[in-house]
Amino acid sequence: MTIVESPTHLRENPFEIAQDQLRRVAEVFQIDQNLVRVLEQCKKAVSVSIPVYMDRGEIEVFQGYRVTHNIARGPSKGGIRYHPDVTLDEVKALAMWMTWKCALMGIPFGGAKGGVVCDPKQMSRLELEKMTRRFTSEIINEIGPEKDIPAPDVGTDPSVMAWIFDTYSMNKGHSVLGVVTGKPLNVGGSLGRLEATAHGALYCLREAIEKQDLALAGMRVAVQGFGNVGGYLARFLQEDGAIVVAASDSRGGVYNGDGIDVPNALAHKQETGGLEGLKDTESITNEELLLLECDVLAPCALEQVITTENADKVRAKVVVEGANGPTTPAADEILEDRGVLVLPDVLANAGGVVVSYFEWVQGLQEYFWKEEEVNQRLNDITSRAFHETWETYKSRDTTMRMAAYGLAVQRVSEATMTRGLYP
Ligand code: NAD
């Protein structure tokens, strides 16, 4: 495994991790080695440079990527990340995980991902808009409603999706709703999309807790990351009666053993940009949050936060992976040995792509659903995927991650075999 030397959040090469996971799954689920050779590579990786006139009058050139991993089951789908640590191999790993996620959820998409190396927190709205529009133009031949459909990820939000939608549509000469998901409601977004990833994680966690004859009410939860996924998840968990003892963002965390008032925390973050100084809490570091005495740990920020260095000290009984790739494979083994139930990313955070699929369908039909309909259908799909994964986990006596990846890789393999290898 390549150890990443630069001081980023990535200690190990994420694409090598993803390839390694695939090979292990292929062994357990007896996937044909010919298929593994196809699936361990990404179909296409585009690298572009994005020159932007910054507010100070100078041109800055950003690096952007769009990667398609696989399209055997449908057009590729995946978010766009704006973060200083983005690398091509990170985007490739995230694209591969998207393929498995869509297959596990049974939605007709393949996997893709995009990223731009930038710090959106240091950029003005105008700079962000110009960068997004130029990036969209540079990848305009790669994306499209039947081809590859971007969505939000870390550092991007509905406004960024609106700029992508507008730039693409301007070039086509008409509005193309299906080119991107996670759009604002007034330009063809779906009700329930903003909350979808957190809703999916909540539905999945409810199922897991029910399987153990326990109740979410009264459980102590720690949430790392307080953005789209972590912020909504903390809110929903508290509404379900759980006690959110800690939450954090990139600047650090806050703790209150009797529970944090989540709506207050969200308002505080909105006002001040962070969680520090939140009333009735004490400060903790992100590392301390991961090791807190609690029932459920929800890593909802970035990859590789649970590693060999801290996995033996994680005290939660359940880890629900709101983030993509928060647990390294070696840490996974430690958690497994210690009997910690890990609800893997491809299952736990798939709510976002499921409602993105609903948004795409609604956009193609130009017919929009009620929010209850969106949430009910999301719950149905999440529960079905959870039960299929749980059955496989029990019948094969393996981990939830191996079961989820196994089901997904089998489905993608079957589609690939049915289509045949072109030419
Ligand atoms: P976001 O940008 O809305 O929020 C990210 C949060 O993580 C912020 O609160 C940020 O301060 C915090 N953070 C950043 N670096 C951190 C660090 N080193 N330590 C602790 N916190 C840190 O992003 P998001 O959309 O909530 O995405 C979070 C994770 O969920 C990512 O792994 C993403 O790939 C995954 N995910 C997102 C979606 C979605 O629909 N948005 C869907 C599936 C998976």
Where does the pLDDT of residue 9 fall: very low under 50, low under 70, confident under 90, or very high at 90 and above? confident
Residues touching ligand 1 (Cβ under 6 Å) are: 9, 152-155, 197, 224-230, 248-250, 286, 300-302, 322-324, 349, 352
d(CA 14, CA 96): 10
Q: Are the folds of 42-175 and 196-348 the same?
A: yes
In 3D space, the residue among 162, 150, 324, 328 whose CA is nearest the CA of residue 229 turns out to be 324
Residue owning the nearest CA to atom 31 of ligand 1:
323
Ligand 1: distance of its center to the CA of 191 in Å?
21
Give the ligand 1 atom nearest the CA of 193.
40
Ligand 1: distance of its center to the CA of 155 in Å?
8
Architecture of domain 196-348 in CATH? 3-Layer(aba) Sandwich (3.40)
Sign of CA dihedral 360, 362, 368, 374: negative
Sign of CA dihedral 192, 256, 258, 348: positive
Helix (H) or strand (E) holding 224, with range, is: strand 220-224
* φ, ψ for residue 415, nearest 5 deg: -65, -40
At 222-249, the pLDDT tens digits run: 999 999 999 999 999 999 999 999 999 9
In 3D space, the residue among 385, 395, 348 whose CA is nearest the CA of residue 196 turns out to be 348
By CB atoms closer than 10 A (0-12, 13-18, 19+), residue 64 is buried
Which of 119, 229, 236, 382 has most ligand 1 atoms within 8 Å of CB, for mutation? 229
Ligand 1: distance of its center to the CA of 114 in Å?
15
Least confident of 6-20, 52-66, 326-340, 371-385: 6-20
Average pLDDT on 215-227 reads 97
**pLDDT in the model for residue 79:** 98
Query: Above pLDDT 90, what percent of the chain?
Result: 97
In 3D space, the residue among 168, 165, 200, 211 whose CA is nearest the CA of residue 184 turns out to be 165
Helix (H) or strand (E) holding 369, with range, is: none
Domain ranges of the chain: 42-175, 196-348
* φ, ψ for residue 389, nearest 5 deg: -65, -45
Give the ligand 1 atom nearest the CA of 324.
32
In 3D space, the residue among 191, 256, 266, 210 whose CA is nearest the CA of residue 236 turns out to be 266
Residue owning the nearest CA to atom 22 of ligand 1:
250
**pLDDT in the model for residue 4:** 52
Ligand 1: distance of its center to the CA of 227 in Å?
6
Three-state DSSP at 138 gives helix
Compute CA distances 359 → 26, 186, 293, 353, whole Å.
33, 13, 39, 9
Residue 76 contacts residue 144 (beta carbons within 8 Å): no
Residue 297 contacts residue 237 (beta carbons within 8 Å): no
CB-CB neighbours of 211 under 10 Å: 13
**Which residue bears the tokens 């505080």?**
268
**pLDDT in the model for residue 11:** 87
Average pLDDT on 352-371 reads 98
Q: Residue 8 pLDDT > 70, yes or no?
A: yes
At 260-312, the pLDDT tens digits run: 999 999 999 999 999 999 999 999 999 999 999 999 999 999 999 999 999 99
d(CA 337, CA 351): 28
Ligand 1: distance of its center to the CA of 174 in Å?
33
Give the ligand 1 atom nearest the CA of 230.
26
Three-state DSSP at 86 gives coil
| Fold annotation for 42-175 | Rossmann fold (3.40.50)
- Return the active site residues: 113
Residue owning the nearest CA to atom 27 of ligand 1:
154
pTM of the entire structure?
A: 0.96
Residue 291 contacts residue 270 (beta carbons within 8 Å): no
Residue owning the nearest CA to atom 32 of ligand 1:
323
Strand order of the sheet with strand 76-83?
Answer: 44-53, 59-70, 110-117, 76-83, 148-152
In the chain, how long is the greatest CA-to-CA distance?
65
For 274-351, strand residue ranges (E) read 282-284, 296-299, 318-320, 341-343
Residue 395, sorted as left (phi over 0), alpha (psi -120 to 50) or beta, turns out to be alpha
**pLDDT in the model for residue 7:** 52
In 3D space, the residue among 78, 191, 151, 105 whose CA is nearest the CA of residue 380 turns out to be 105
At 88-100, the pLDDT tens digits run: 999 999 999 999 9
d(CA 85, CA 342): 26
